[in-house]
Amino acid sequence: MSSTITHIGFADESHWNTGRFRSLGMVTLPLNCLEIMESEVRWLLSKSQVREFKWKNLDGAKERFAAEKLCLFAVEKACTGQFRVDVLVWDVEDSRHKIAGRDDIANLGRMYYHLFRNVLRARWPNDAVWMLCPDEHTALDWGTLHDCLDNVSAGVEVERSLFTGGQFRIQLRQEFGIEEIQPVSSEAQPLLQLADLFAGLAVFSREKFNSYKEWLRNTSPQLSLFNDDNVSNNPSHSSRERFQVLKKFYYYCKNKKLGVSLENNYGLWTPNPVNPINFWMYEPQHPEDKAPQKKKR
Amino acid sequence: MTNTEVTKLAIAQTVFRDTLLPKLISGEIRVKDAEKFLKERGL
């Protein structure tokens, strides 16, 4: 028996295995808003002459215009209460992740789990029934399911019964309210491109925080009147385009009082996770909270 | 719930989180396929 899907989410990861900061972005909305929002995003992209937006390709004015339009779209829709953006960011130099033999793929799976648990149930009505659409090119690939289950110790045998027949589906519903998970292509799903944009922007805001502040100072009209040559570390063309997107996005959020901070935590951060644009920095939950490690073969 | 039941549930949740969910997210299996797979294995 299947329930009628009421809500839909698009999730994408950024920098899952490179750099200090890694992220997962998810946009969520009621299913009955999907069609109109998809067509609006398509229209915004076509106005910018961008066929498919990808954060990693943002290195010119055309992509920047698209990114700025998408940021404004997200902020305006978030204000209606019919659209959320949640980005989970983790720092591989914190006590959870700075361990030998860290398994980044398995860790990514854990982060999906945290994101789903914290957003699907807690930020939307408890009776929402979800369809989730991760990027079809997700990094998650853990060998075969047979391998995974066969590696589980014999002591788990009894517990396997919890997944028997309908129990498995009940588990999915009880934990997350998920009815279906359907990977999709970014090109075909413009809202997945939004998840990619915010996942990328969140990491960028942290990794380039100091450069951004310097760029901001150097591009301030007041300063440039008196000081022409204090650019100590010229950012790349791509970084400059991205700084402009970050600046606009932060301005849009501030203008709508969305409670998104940039200065307080050295990157995009939303102190109140209930807010509809939520940049969430993963904090280790306790001393034993450690990322998974690669199994010795 | 007894301690044993709590432990069993915690293990089951771990199996779910660490094996089935990533397979679902990556699209390697669908919800209905996972159910079928578990059934075929008598689980």
HEC string of A169-183? HHHHHHHHCEEEECC
| Confidence category of residue A35, pLDDT binned at 50, 70, 90 | very high
Closest-CA residue in chain B for A138? Answer: B26
- The mean pLDDT of chain A is 87
> Measured between CA atoms, how close is A107 to chain B, in angstroms?
10
Average pLDDT of the segment spanning B5-33: 76
- Cα distance between residue B26 and residue B36, in whole Å: 18
Average pLDDT of the segment spanning A92-98: 93
pLDDT given for residue A167 in this prediction = 61
- Cα distance between residue A252 and residue A247, in whole Å: 9
pLDDT surpasses 60 at A149: no
| Confidence category of residue A17, pLDDT binned at 50, 70, 90 | confident
Residue appearing with tokens 């010119």: A60
Residue appearing with tokens 């589980």: A152
pLDDT given for residue A145 in this prediction = 46
Q: What is the ipTM of this complex?
A: 0.72
DSSP character for A32? G
Question: What is the reported pTM?
Answer: 0.86
Q: Give the three-class secondary structure for A5.
A: coil
- Cα distance between residue A45 and residue A65, in whole Å: 9
pLDDT given for residue A141 in this prediction = 57
For residue A159, give the nearest of B8, B27, B35 by CB distance: B8
H helices of chain A, in order, are 34-47, 61-79, 104-119, 145-151, 157-160, 166-176, 190-207, 209-219, 221-226, 237-255
B residues 1..43 contacting A (CB < 8 A): 8-9, 11-13, 15-31, 34-35, 37-39, 41, 43
- Cα distance between residue A161 and residue B43, in whole Å: 6
